Structures are given as C-alpha cells and as structure tokens.
Structure 1
Amino acid sequence: MKTLLITDVSGFIGLRAAELAIAKGMKVRGLQLKTDKSSTAKKLGVEVISGSVTKAENLKKACQGVDIVLHTEQLAQEGGSLKDFHKVNVDGTKNISYTAKEVGVKTFVHLSSAMVYGFNYPEDITEDGPLTNENNPYCQTKIEAEQAILQLNSPPDFGAIVIRAGDIYGPGCIPWIVRPLHLMGQKLFAYVNDGEGVINHVYIDNLIDAIFLSIEKEAYGEVFNVTDGQKTSWKEYFLLLAETGDLPAPFSLPKDELKLFLKVRSGGQKLLRQQPDIFPEAVDFMSRPHSYSIQKAREKLTYEPAVSLKDGMQLIKQWLKTANLKKLMGK
C-alpha cells in the first residue's frame, strides 16, 4: 500500500485524484490551507494536514513517510499579478519538491499545463516544442516551475514527472464548466471569432489515469502532454456545454470586441472591490488555434482516454441536477 500526498487535496483536481487513489487501495494524505474546505476529503478517509506549499510550516510533516507526491496546488487564472503567481506556482513548487526530496519521497508528479506553449504554437505540438510565456504570468510561472522540478530529478532517490494537462473539465471545474454556464445563464457569455480553433479538453478521470500510469511506469525525468486526443472546436464545445446545461446557445464576438468588454467589466468589478470573475486575458485562452500531440503518452504510458466528450458531458449533466453554480462561483 503506497502513501500518496496530494497538495490542494480539496480542490477540483486533488479531490478527484484522492477518490481514485483510494479506489486503487492507496493511502492518501492531503495538504490543504483552509481545512474548513476539507470535510469531503476527510469523509473519503484522507488524512488532511493544514498547510500550503507557500509556507514552510507542516511541509515536512506532510511529506514524512510518503512514497509519492502529486502536486496540484497552483494559482490558475488567466491574468493577475506576476508576484502572486510566482509565490504559488514557482516558490511553492520549489518548497514542496525540495522538502519531499529531503525527507526521502521517491516519486514526485508535478501537474503542469500545456499553456507552457503559449497561445500561438504549431499544430500537434509535442513535448519538444518551444515554450513561450507570451508575457502571461500563468504561462511564465508554469514554465519556471517545470524547470525547477526537472533539475531535481535523480532516480532512484527522487524521480520527477511532469504532466502538461490540456483544458481539464468535469463536475466542479470552474473555468470550463461552472463559469461559462453561470455566464450563459445571465446571457453574458460569448465565444471568440465564431469558435474557430481547438479546445484541448481532458476529462478529469482521463487526466488522473495518465498520472497513475506515469507513476506505475516510473517515467522519471519525462514530460507528457495529456488531453482527450480529440480535435473539438471551441464553438462545438460551448454549444454542447449550453445544451448540457439546458441553456440558450451562446453567441460569438470578434476577439478585440470581447476583450474590450471584459476589460471594462473587470475594471468595474475592481472599482467595487470585487474579484473579477473573468479576466480580459481569458479571450487568449479561449482562442488557441491548434491541438497538442499526445502521441508520447500513448506510446510510453499506454494512455488511452476512456471518457469521451459526449460521455463527459452526460456525467456533468447528472452532476448539474444538484450543483449550485452561484455558490461555486462564490456569489
């Protein structure tokens, strides 16, 4: 029975990873800053330790006796202060990885993002493709975090694996499910340039399957793109999402027009001392033109996405019957 530590165990990714790990017979420990959010994890049988990768307290305690660390804690939003992103995504990643190595953890899986390729990249880009920060704090800090992790790779003492996830969706996902549906319900959601380009969606369970395969195969020092392997247009995805939520189909706006609207909207929210619910930079994230190659994951990990987009949306439809989107959006 292996012991797995998951950072941000009560988050969208961490909680589902905990569920599936326990189903595999693993012992799961979680690191969570706000323990009042950890009741669901505790009910699953997760040992929850109060803390965050941004603080040194309790990191050794969290890592002690652990075989594997799955690092999911991150600041993931389209825009904001580089300082804030760096604190969590770079410094935090260094804190937890250095501590894990120091106390004898053998396997460290870093959940990165395919956004390390930026917004304009070649069709079917592979893991060897150029990394581009696009002057975006999320892209930039995910690149820096990867570099820090891979420098520590030294199996068999400490094996590091990097997973570059596509656009992760599933029940409870804020950017690709909850927020679009919430805005669609207010008739405030639009997709960009008639939905041209490709959303590189990956259903949460498919992503976690790939993570477990990388651990089982001890793919140390390797980097993997992980998506559902489908070429779905942005328009197709958002129309299907609206149908799943029983909402009217969203409309399209030119990229510059939509960006200006979101800039004005987020500026107004800031004046009211509210956290913007969507940043203007979201337009860049919602208009990427090409797909990412998952050939390496297929060949080296024998990864095959089990949940199709159609099946994933059916699971979300069931979840929406009891979900409170306003509460999930913090409204």
Structure 2
Amino acid sequence: MNCQNKTLLITGIDEFIGLRAAELAIAQGMKVRGLQTSTQQHQKLKDLGVEVLVGGITDAKIAKAACQGVDIVLHTTQLAEEAGDIKHFREINVQGTINIGQAAKQAGVKTFVHLSTALVYGFNYPNQVTESSQTSGDNNSYCQSKIEAETELIKLNSPPDFGVIILRAGDVYGPGSIPWVVRPIHMMRQKLFAYANDGQGVMNHLYVDNLIDAIFLAIEKAPYGEIFNITDGQETSWKEYFMHLAAMEGLPAPMSLPKEEMKLFLRVRSQGQKLFRKKADILPESVDFMSRPYAYSIAKATSVLNFKPKVDLEIGMGLTHEWLKATDIEKLMK
C-alpha cells in the first residue's frame, strides 16, 4: 500500500511510540488521527497537524467514531504493567483491542497493524524463538492478555477487505521509553537499581525508530494474517545494556543481585509503598522481564518485510542521551 495521503489512526498516540509514529507518518505525507485517553501531548499533536480524539478503546462508540474515514489503524494502546488483576488487563488489552478491531472492520479500514509484544513467549523460551513457537503466559497478566488479544484479533482478518498484521516488538527504548530508559535511570540516580544474576541473558532492545520502520514496511507490503518478531537483531546482554545506560548518564555502574534476592527486596519495597498509599514504582515481577534468557529471531521480518534495523545500540543510546539532557525525567515518573 502506498501511504501517501492515506489516513492513519493511531491509538495511544500520547505514548512515546504512538507520538513518534505520528511524527514519522506526517513526514511521509500521511494524514494522522490520534485516539488518547487524556489531553497529555494534546497541544504538541495539534501543532503537528494531528486530529486528536479523547476517549478509551474500551468504549465501543468511541472506537467506532475514531475509525470513520480511516485507511489504516496502528493499534498501540495497552496496559503494560509488570503484574496486576487479569480482569483489568483483559478489559484494556483484550476487549479494547476487540472493540477497535471490530470498529475498524465495520468502517472499511483496509489495514490493521496491532502492536503486540515478544513477551507472549513468556520468560522461558528457546534461543532464536520464532513466530511459530508456542506462546506462554507464564502466570503473568500482561503476557496472558497480550496472547488473548492476538488470538481474538486474528479472527477478524479477512483480506482483501480487512487485513490484520501483528508485530511482536522487543524491548522498545529511545526518547520517552519509561521501562527501558526513564525508570532505570530514575532508580540509578537513587542508587536503587540492580540487575539480576550478573546480567546474564539477552536484552532484545528495539530502538523506537526501527520499530516505526517495521510498521511502515508492514503497511507497504501488506502480509495480512502474519505475525512478526521485531527487534534490533543484536544480542546484547542485560549487563551490557544497563552498564551502557549508566555510563551514558555518568552514573555509577549498577550492582548485580541474585534473582530471588531482588524479588524479595522489591516485594518488601512495594509493600512499604502500599502502606504509605503510594503506587509501587517497580514490582517484583519486573525481575522476570529483565532477566529473559535468549534472543528472539527476526529472520521472518528480514525475509518477508525486508526489515533491516538502521539504528544500532550505540547510535540509539546517543540519541536517547540527547533527549535526556533536555528532559526532566522526574516529572515523567509522577
């Protein structure tokens, strides 16, 4: 599909992936409509020329209104927390996705790109895991709800009238990334950050612009009904990534703790925050997210989409550092 003059709806446009997608879509001549739940980033988006709608994907009427007159939907809205009540995750990640998918199909949208996650493979999976491998919720509400969202959404795929493409993104970092940039640096500054088991395993990082490139390749090539793993394709250890992050900010190197010891510390910390009626800034389950063992294969994306990550870790960290110098991340943590 030629994207020129096409209208793109981005759900979750006020989040860092959606906002960056909007910037790059407009740069290549697309019209952009954004759906968000608050007025955050409202003025910035309007200045870009985005038509902004405020509302949630769990509201079928809002979803229907958002999809009218749209050619392509990029669905990024999700509840992305380390743990919590599965009912809450299903409400947003599953039912919300069904709502926007059904609304798009009924409105005559041709292409629906769903941003999923490589965490659908769980926390214990084979090296170079492929899209045909078994998924696993691993008793985690986020992982399980994202698996269920994929399952329900693919049922709506009916090309050429309505085509669904699913991208299982790795660990998306870059300017604005809360889990992989803002939160670790925030905790490093407080000397509270540690990585598990000497940083063994693979950080499947994905610079945000590389992800957006993959999204536009998927729209262009239209491989409807297909699922793709998307990462930078580099096998970087967790230790290497977090050491690089600390050095970039001139912070002391973070320490390593045994995995179960880290979980215990974070459990006690989160209980203490709850006692003082504060939302936990990091949950014990985050340790599972930050100690996954292997790389995901991007061979399918390379061959079918001709996906070639353009921004490597060194360049991506440099661009992120420039953003950090101009940003008060403490405000983003509130």
Could you state the TM-score of these two structures normalised by the residue count of structure 1? 0.99
Q: Over residues 261-292 of structure 1, what are the superposed CA-to-partner deviations in whole Å (9 max), with x where a residue is unaligned?
A: 00011111111111111010000001100000
Residue 194 (structure 1) aligned to one of 195, 198, 213: 198
Using the alignment, how far apart are the partners of 2:247 and 2:126 within structure 1?
31
Residue 150 (structure 2) aligned to one of 146, 149, 154: 146
> What pairs with 1:279-294 in structure 2 (closer than 5 Å)?
279-294=283-298
SS of residue in 1 equivalent to 2:281:
coil
Return the letter of the residue paired with 2:186: H
Residue 319 (structure 1) aligned to one of 307, 320, 323: 323
SS of residue in 2 equivalent to 1:35:
coil
- The Cα RMSD (Å) is 0.7
- More divergent stretch after superposition (190-199 vs 262-271): 262-271
Q: Over residues 10-64 of structure 1, what are the superposed CA-to-partner deviations in whole Å (9 max), with x where a residue is unaligned?
A: 1111000000100110000000110244221111110001111011232222100
**Which stretches in structure 1 are left out of the alignment for 5+ residues?**
none
Return the letter of the residue paired with 1:2: K
Using the alignment, how far apart are the partners of 1:274 and 1:100 within structure 2?
38
> What pairs with 1:92-111 in structure 2 (closer than 5 Å)?
92-111=96-115
Tell me if the contact between 1:10 and 1:40 (Cα under 8 Å) persists in the aligned partners: no
- More divergent stretch after superposition (32-41 vs 10-19): 32-41
Q: Over residues 70-107 of structure 1, what are the superposed CA-to-partner deviations in whole Å (9 max), with x where a residue is unaligned?
A: 00000001111111111100010001000110111111
Using the alignment, how far apart are the partners of 1:85 and 1:26 within structure 2?
32
1:211 aligns with 2:215: yes
**Which stretches in structure 2 are left out of the alignment for 5+ residues?**
none
Return the letter of the residue paired with 1:258: M
Using the alignment, how far apart are the partners of 1:93 and 1:273 within structure 2?
31
Using the alignment, how far apart are the partners of 1:5 and 1:318 within structure 2?
29
Tell me if the contact between 1:97 and 1:149 (Cα under 8 Å) persists in the aligned partners: yes
SS of residue in 1 equivalent to 2:93:
helix
Using the alignment, how far apart are the partners of 1:89 and 1:39 within structure 2?
27
Aligned to 2:314: 310
Q: Over residues 162-190 of structure 1, what are the superposed CA-to-partner deviations in whole Å (9 max), with x where a residue is unaligned?
A: 00000000011000000000000000000
Aligned to 1:260: 264
Return the letter of the residue paired with 2:301: A
SS of residue in 2 equivalent to 1:280:
coil
Q: Over residues 175-217 of structure 1, what are the superposed CA-to-partner deviations in whole Å (9 max), with x where a residue is unaligned?
A: 0000000000000000000000000000000001001001100
Q: Over residues 132-159 of structure 1, what are the superposed CA-to-partner deviations in whole Å (9 max), with x where a residue is unaligned?
A: 0001000000000001111110001100
1:163 aligns with 2:167: yes
Percent identity of paired positions between Structure 1 and Structure 2? 64
Aligned to 2:67: 63
Return the letter of the residue paired with 2:221: K
Using the alignment, how far apart are the partners of 2:297 and 2:41 within structure 1?
36
Return the letter of the residue paired with 2:36: Q
Using the alignment, how far apart are the partners of 1:79 and 1:10 within structure 2?
23
What is the number of residues matched between the two proteins?
A: 330
Could you state the TM-score of these two structures normalised by the residue count of structure 2? 0.98
Using the alignment, how far apart are the partners of 2:62 and 2:80 within structure 1?
23
Q: Over residues 296-322 of structure 1, what are the superposed CA-to-partner deviations in whole Å (9 max), with x where a residue is unaligned?
A: 000000000000000000001111111
Tell me if the contact between 2:67 and 2:103 (Cα under 8 Å) persists in the aligned partners: yes
Using the alignment, how far apart are the partners of 1:170 and 1:148 within structure 2?
30
Tell me if the contact between 2:168 and 2:229 (Cα under 8 Å) persists in the aligned partners: yes
Using the alignment, how far apart are the partners of 1:56 and 1:38 within structure 2?
22
Return the letter of the residue paired with 1:87: E
Deviation at 1:108, TM superposition (A): 0.4
Aligned to 1:301: 305
Aligned to 2:85: 81
Tell me if the contact between 1:51 and 1:57 (Cα under 8 Å) persists in the aligned partners: no
Using the alignment, how far apart are the partners of 2:127 and 2:214 within structure 1?
22
1:43 aligns with 2:52: no
Residue 175 (structure 1) aligned to one of 179, 186, 189: 179
List, as ranges, runs of 4+ consecutive aligned residues in structure 1 with deviation greater than 4 Å.
none
Tell me if the contact between 1:193 and 1:255 (Cα under 8 Å) persists in the aligned partners: yes
Return the letter of the residue paired with 1:325: I
1:5 aligns with 2:30: no
1:131 aligns with 2:135: yes
Return the letter of the residue paired with 1:175: P
Return the letter of the residue paired with 1:19: E
Change (3 A) 1:36 1:320: closer
Residue 52 (structure 1) aligned to one of 44, 52, 56: 56
